[in-house]
A and B are shown apart, each in its own frame.
Chain A
Amino acid sequence: DVKVTQSSRYLVKRTGEKVFLECVQDMDHENMFWYRQDPGLGLRLIYFSYDVKMKEKGDIPEGYSVSREKKERFSLILESASTNQTSMYLCASSLGQGHTDTQYFGPGTRLTVL
């Protein structure tokens, strides 16, 4: 079974702090994704990566950056956290072999910025 893990289930940070959210997958997947999920807005793509050191902006990249130094790990960085970044953050990965891709999700990190 595919396993996607995220470093924290719950996180509380203060405005202006730098925040790192880590995601690790153990199935040698090419693609990794970061989403945020908010009530009434559904899942929105922040960034994705289709290879080591490669990244693409999603729909809402502002205020975020990412890092993919190793294939299995994809980090989401909030350089200076703000209250409007309070959300559920979901990481996902997929094999990367064309249109039959299925994404597998991690358990999510619920971030609260005070």
Chain B
Amino acid sequence: EDKVVQSPLSLVVHEGDTVTLNCSYEVTNFRSLLWYKQEKKAPTFLFMLTSSGIEKKSGRLSSILDKKELFSILNITATQTGDSAVYLCALNQAGTALIFGKGTTLSVSS
């Protein structure tokens, strides 16, 4: 059965810390892996990864995919209180439906 597992489920850090969020997956027909950030409302798109070893970067956030070991990580450096959110990992298996992990809840304290 296809599945996406995120760890940790929750995390509390201080401003300025660096965090690494993990997403491992088992899927029979991998197309792409996506990361979303969800604050109080709808998820907003962060990254889409299709190839191993190529880092995607946006400001203090970066992500990389390992298709051999079947995982991805999302790094956030110099965290700020505005980074507090639920981070969702999702697998695109057929160009249509996404399989979501349960998310990692990040809390950044000042």
Residues of chain A whose beta carbon lies under 8 Å from any beta carbon of chain B:
4, 31, 33, 35, 40-45, 48, 50, 56, 58, 90, 94, 96-108
Contact = CB atoms under 8 A, between A and B. Distances in A.
Nearest to A90: B42
B34 A102 contact: yes
A101 B45 contact: no
Interface of B: 31-32, 34, 36, 41-45, 48, 50, 88, 90, 92, 95-98, 100-103
Contacts of B45: 102-104
Given A101-B95, A101-B96, A105-B42, A41 B50 contact: no
A99 B102 CA distance: 22
Nearest to A9: B41
Given A41-B102, A42-B100, 16 more contacts: A40-B102, A42-B88, A43-B88, A50-B96, A90-B43, A96-B95, A96-B96, A97-B95, A99-B92, A100-B48, A101-B32, A102-B48, A105-B42, A105-B43, A107-B41, A107-B42
